[in-house]
A and B are shown apart, each in its own frame.
Chain A
């Protein structure tokens, strides 16, 4: 087939894809090497590779921006939120897929409608509610909205997946006397590993990069996540370019590693998400 295609098309394809690749990766590569460059050098020539590679930008950013605390908070918010969303979604997905209750259908359509709801439609009442309940400015107060906003997509993916699990598999176990919850633990959870993985990867990415809840539902430095810290830090001290680059790298590096490992699952997850709706 390929020999039928003319050379100009191929050249055009290389050109277009090449331009997009350079555009996509270029700024990130610039960010990477600039983070090892002393600020004085950046001011002189912003494009050149560092003459004098240094880690001092990182040391300074880590200390002045209190990035260690922010990093730890991000890890806690992201991992707890992701685990809870994935587990709750698979449990609910089992309920929606294999129990034919009318309430179930109503609850399911509420989750579907949730795909349209923006963070901004809830943030004011949530802020007021959390203040009254005394969980404003606590880790719990950040994690609960993380879990809830992960749920609509996760419930959709889990329900669709579990629906495709053969009924016979579930029923035979029920007849053997296993309770529904035992079926959940012994059958549904193990067969759902692939969809659990997809949900976990998508939710992890969203939680790690989340900004507005962590920004509005906490005050003071102690509970800020990385994006929030980087935003306030890099905005205020925007003349120390080297330190700014280093702070951005600290927030980005974990995701680049994550991408290196889970790239294929992440792509599949996004593609599946689009197919299921």
Chain B
């Protein structure tokens, strides 16, 4: 009996500090956000219950819908851009098509260590009139007055942040692919080569089937990461000009901390969580089919 108590007490001593802190800082606030999402609250006095009014307003607000579209583009760039590019790079390094694989690996992974705030300001400078990009364009086009103007276009303004996200995160996916490719036994591939299998055949029959699980994990990673993306765009454009590059997280930020609509902002944050859950469930369905196909 005594040992049982001791065991329980030890368990509590080990697990409680982390769990209590986690409950206080994450679980309780999420629950409070959920509750506040049904209210109108300016940060003082009692929150006024308004039912689903916030949610109805969110999905009618054209600014929100434009932010949602930008977020979906970010997800598309991650899933259809960063992941495939990461794979191509990883595969070239894995098959040792070049010398100095460690060097290329280290250089392409490097941007991941730089703070998104620094990355944002750095790329703003690269695109600014004194930056590398206009300098290059002036040389290439022969137009000495070239300036970077994409931000003025409502539909295209999101392109530079999309490119910078690609720049930051492709190396991360590359590293994950390399680690997983290295787990495929070399002997399997060597045997296939001896049997006369061509490169595309090796890719299709050996490599892809063993990558499906990883690509699913990466997709989840990309979806939740994309919906969280705030720092980079906040520092790069602040959602501007004219809210063209706004994403949901920035929409939530401005409603809450600029206009002090805490209830409305909370509803937006719940929408972010709900969206990532729905999108992840959707991709789980797609990957289940893919896995079945390969088995």
Which residues of A does B touch, CB under 8 Å?
1-2, 4-5, 9-10, 13-14, 16-17, 20-21, 23-28, 30-31, 42-43, 46-47, 88-89, 91-92, 94-96, 99, 101, 104, 107, 110-111, 114-126, 128-129, 144-145, 147-149, 151-152, 155, 179-181, 184, 205, 208-209, 211-212, 216, 226-228, 230-231, 234-235, 241, 244-245, 248, 251-252, 255-256, 258-259, 263, 266-268, 270-272, 274-275, 277
B225 to chain A, nearest CB (A): 10
Residue of B whose beta carbon sits closest to that of A104: B15
Q: Is B220 an interface residue (CB 8 A)?
A: yes
* Chain B residue contacts of A30, Cβ below 8 A: 126, 132
B151 to chain A, nearest CB (A): 15
A96 to chain B, nearest CB (A): 7
The size class of the interface chain B forms with chain A is: 35 or more
Residue of A whose beta carbon sits closest to that of B268: A120
Q: Is B33 an interface residue (CB 8 A)?
A: yes
A219 to chain B, nearest CB (A): 12
| 8 Å CB contact of B98 from A14, A148, A216 | A14
Give B20-35 as 1s and 0s: 1 = Cβ < 8 Å from A's Cβ atoms.
0111111111101100
Q: Is B1 an interface residue (CB 8 A)?
A: no
Segment of B142-150, B168-176, B282-290 in the binding face: B168-176
Contact B122 A46 (CB under 8 A): no
| A-facing residues in B1-52 (Cβ within 8 Å) | 6-8, 10-11, 13-15, 17-19, 21-30, 32-33, 36, 43
- Cα A230 to Cα B92 in complex, Å, equals 37
| A-facing residues in B98-123 (Cβ within 8 Å) | 98, 104-118, 121-123
Given contacts A9-B97, A99-B11, 18 further A-B contacts (CB under 8 A): A20-B108, A30-B126, A47-B135, A92-B17, A110-B22, A118-B276, A120-B249, A147-B21, A205-B113, A211-B231, A248-B118, A251-B118, A259-B110, A267-B105, A270-B112, A271-B179, A274-B180, A274-B217
- Cα A274 to Cα B175 in complex, Å, equals 10
- Cα A144 to Cα B21 in complex, Å, equals 8
26 sample A-B contacts, Cβ–Cβ < 8 Å, listed by A number: A14-B98, A16-B88, A23-B167, A27-B126, A30-B132, A91-B15, A91-B17, A95-B15, A107-B15, A110-B23, A114-B26, A118-B272, A118-B276, A120-B269, A121-B273, A151-B22, A180-B14, A205-B113, A209-B116, A228-B117, A230-B118, A244-B121, A248-B122, A252-B115, A259-B113, A277-B221
* Chain B residue contacts of A145, Cβ below 8 A: 25
- Cα A245 to Cα B113 in complex, Å, equals 17
| 8 Å CB contact of B167 from A24, A89, A110, A147 | A24
Which residues of B does A touch, CB under 8 Å?
6-8, 10-11, 13-15, 17-19, 21-30, 32-33, 36, 43, 88-89, 92-93, 95-98, 104-118, 121-123, 125-126, 130-132, 135, 167, 170-172, 175-176, 178-180, 190, 193, 214, 217-218, 220-221, 224, 227-228, 230-231, 234-235, 249, 252-253, 256-257, 262, 265-266, 268-270, 272-273, 276-277, 280
* Chain B residue contacts of A179, Cβ below 8 A: 6, 10
Contact B26 A117 (CB under 8 A): yes
- Cα A255 to Cα B178 in complex, Å, equals 23
| 8 Å CB contact of B273 from A14, A117, A252, A272 | A117
| 4 closest Cβ pairs, A-B complex | A271-B179, A180-B10, A148-B25, A13-B97
B218 to chain A, nearest CB (A): 7
Residue of B whose beta carbon sits closest to that of A188: B14
- Cα A231 to Cα B280 in complex, Å, equals 33
Contact A122 B21 (CB under 8 A): no
